[in-house]
Structure 1
Amino acid sequence: MKKMKLLLALSACAVLAFPATACTPPVNENEFEEGKYNITVACQSEEGEEAVMEKLASSYEAKNPDVNVIVKNFGSSDLDGYMQNYAWNEDKLANIVWVPDDKFAPWAAKGHFLDLRPMYEASKETSYELYYESMLHAASYTGEYKPYSVDKSEKHALYYAPRDYNKIGICYNTELFENFGIYDLLPEDFSHENWNMDTFITFLQGVSGKIKEAGAAYSASYDAINFFLQWEPVYTSVFKEMGSSGILDANYDLNLKSPENRKILSKLYDELFSDKTMIGTEDGFKQGYTAMTVCVRPVAYTFYSVMKGKVDFLPFPTEAVGAGCSGYAITTKTANKTQEANGVEKTNKELCWDFIKYIISEEGQEVAGEFGTSVPILKSLKDNGSWTKAMDPNLNHSAWLAGEELRLTTYNVFEPDARPSLRSCVDAIINKQQSVDEGTYAKMTGWLDTYTTNFNRVNDLL
């Protein structure tokens, strides 16, 4: 009965937050080749993931002519949709699956992905010290990895190999900045004294003012920013910067209704979201109607491509900046199958790890970096890797490393199965906060009551 109540509570959060959506099946970009080892990789098609994987696959195949990497995409779905459809189908499930740090945990906890620690520890070429430790922690569903040689328990396993290091930043439309005179509003330098949430709010108010000065036709069509506050790395960074001790209380109940958090929400609404010219959308940014958007480096690559290079980057305006990653997991169900090529038999696990090992090596990181979709997971490439010249060497690439690192650990205290719906509750609250009509103090009181009740009901049933 307790499990059934938990499922109903999870469903309540999910239904309130998202409408139901259909999905199209995955697409194969290349085919099985006789006489070779065949590895299948599934990834999302958006944000350059499929394209960069094709690039990595081609580069790896050139060095390993007996290997054929078959790249699939998730269709119109995400990791959850893909795994729901194929996790139990050994014949259709890919050997390697691309995973983001906020979605892998339920699948890892159910045993669908291998623990990669023994493979990392088998070679100095993949020594843990080479990579950002925080991102290795992100690849454990408890938020804390430990070397296999120290602790073999599953809760401290590495369930995917992080490929990138993604801090949030701001991508802006250079043409709109020029046309509306927004460059005049930027500080001379982006030290924290000059670029923080207080000065950023003033800056955004100035951007909205510039749009309004251009006339009613412009203010009806153009917006200042897709702030994306409902996204975990954004609200975690913003709330911390504005004085919040967190969105959970000591009992892990949601406390967005606390005086300090209500004060933050009210300030953001009163000074930003109540302005109809302030908040735009990601699509609006792509179409040239929103001046800025908050994003991570992989998405910035997409904007650069779609907007024909009319973008540049600004650092996120907080002292501590939310950081996350994505990477590649090996599926347990397919790992022990064997293949033979040129008279040599190998397991899928061996073949997959060799490819992943290439991806997280300096050569593989430079291939992905040159493509432009990611900041490398290798610390040695932080300042002078190919990523710093990708797309256009004159872009402000350093914006993606600005600020102190802020780990995203809020949901690690909850059971992996509960996390998607708990995130959805918070997403829905803050999404409404950004609405001119729904974000008023009175209306937000009602929404906070509804979603907080659902969030805490899930917590009580854990």
Structure 2
Amino acid sequence: MKLVTTTGLALLMAVGAAGSAFAQTEITFSLWGSPQEGEVWQEIASAFEAEHPDIAVNVEVADWDGYWEKLRVQVAGGTPPDVFAMDAPLYPDWQSRGVLLNLQPYLDADPEMLDGIYPTTLEAYKTDEGMFGLPRDFQTIVLFYNKDMFDAAGVEYPTSEWTWQDFRDAAAELTIDKDGDGTTDQWGAWAEVYDMEPLWGPVVWSHGGEIVDPEAGETLIDSPEAMEGFEFIRSVWLDDKSMPTSEQLSQYGWDGLLSGVAAMGFSGHWSVPEYSQAGLNLGVVPMPEGPAGRKTMVNSAGFVVSASTPNPDAAWEFVKYATSEAGQTELAKIGLAIPIRESVTSSDAYLGQEADIDHQVFVDALEYANVKPSFKGYEEWSGAVGDALSLAWSEGVPLEDALAEAVDYGNDALAANR
């Protein structure tokens, strides 16, 4: 009898535990990033679960290419993650497909939720129908410089007063044949120029040019002002030879600063952890000023919720937590991006990061930042423009011809996505 009673009690406990487990709502959050970034997001999910014991969050992380490939398959197959990361320029494409949940009803019910979030970071997610996404973090582009290389060359560090001419002069001084074999082995600067974000977008804006008008279906980078900006980059690269060609850089790696062959570079906060781990003695300053003022670009990664999620309320609660001060404080630990809440960027969680640079420079850059263009067909347009612009950095192709081709291909992409 005792055996039966004990067994029966054990069965009841097992059934009760199983019932409790099955009663728990499970949602999936999918994002791109490194395994280390995934670990931090798992910590954020665990902190959320502690406050919401009835909701379990499964975190899935993949590299950039693998993430988008898998996401397209999942959405097409009707099995998307409940919550997934979104790059702001790609947001209009996904929103226009009807696969994202409109978050506006949740925001209308809790309007104070957005208080304290940098308004600029919200702009990309607004539509006439409401907001179908929220920013998760943001990036601004600043000028990084290697203090050791400046010291060795006897060149003064960059300042917040620098113009683009100051940058050009310093880059020329810092371009050196260190071993005297007749071949340059240190360049004054490097930049990724396929995408607009790190360099050519801010340069065009700071020379008074514009980039694109999606509503009018026009690519605008062939205006006289934009042309002046592109000519500046071309002159630093091809005339001064102060930046390595892609072939030269490939001998050392993909990032000139990280490889130790460039004294300056343009990037966002996403580079800070890797630069810090490499032991580079770096400083950061605002982008140099152009004829039309100082400009940089701000972009964000965001959260969206699947329109077909069976658990929209649970998904919303996770998004709400991840964008809260508590969630954003945990996010600051990753060090890859800038939290969207001013209360966190002004706290030690962000400003006191291990990397010994002035993290405030990235936040202050919002004062002179333009939002990265975001529109339907962005991916196709940026690929067409980037491919054509690559000709501009070739000795044999006139800049005017490369820009004309970029405009033609860009306009074709805009027309195809109207």
- Contiguous gaps of at least 5 residues in structure 1: 1-32, 146-152, 338-347
Tell me what 1:448 maps to: 403
CA contact (8 A) 2:200 2:229 kept: no
Distance in 2, matches of 1:216 and 1:43, equals 47
SS of equivalent to 1:289:
coil
Tell me what 1:197 maps to: 164
Which of 77, 86, 108 pairs up with 1:89?
A: 77
1:206 CA drift (Å): 2.3
Superposed CA deviations along residues 40-81 of structure 1, whole A, max 9, x for unmatched, are 111112496434322322322333344332111234616542
TM, length-normalised to structure 1: 0.74
1:364 CA drift (Å): 1.0
Q: 1:231 to 1:218 in 2, by over 3 A?
A: farther
1:267 CA drift (Å): 2.9
Distance in 2, matches of 1:291 and 1:215, equals 17
Distance in 1, matches of 2:182 and 2:317, equals 54
Q: 1:122 to 1:251 in 2, by over 3 A?
A: closer
Select the structure of larger CA radius of gyration.
2
- Within a 5 Å distance, the mapping from 1:59-458 to structure 2 comes to 59-75=47-63, 77=65, 80-91=68-79, 93-123=80-110, 125-126=112-113, 128-140=114-126, 145=127, 153-154=128-129, 157-178=130-151, 180-181=152-153, 184-187=155-158, 189-190=159-160, 194-208=161-175, 211-212=176-177, 214-216=178-180, 220-233=184-197, 234-246=199-211, 251-279=216-244, 280=249, 282-305=254-277, 307-308=278-279, 310-318=281-289, 319-333=294-308, 335=309, 337=310, 348-392=311-355, 394-403=356-365, 404-408=367-371, 410=373, 412=375, 416=376, 418-433=377-392, 435=393, 438-439=394-395, 442-458=397-413
RMSD: 3.0
1:426 CA drift (Å): 2.4
1:432 CA drift (Å): 3.5
**Which amino acid counterpart does residue 167 of structure 1 have in structure 2?**
T
1:268 CA drift (Å): 2.3
Aligned residues: 384
Q: 1:227 to 1:48 in 2, by over 3 A?
A: farther
Q: 1:397 to 1:410 in 2, by over 3 A?
A: closer
Distance in 1, matches of 2:30 and 2:214, equals 38
1:329 CA drift (Å): 0.8
Q: 1:221 to 1:450 in 2, by over 3 A?
A: same
CA contact (8 A) 2:137 2:338 kept: yes
Q: Percent identity?
A: 18
TM, length-normalised to structure 2: 0.81
CA contact (8 A) 2:210 2:220 kept: no
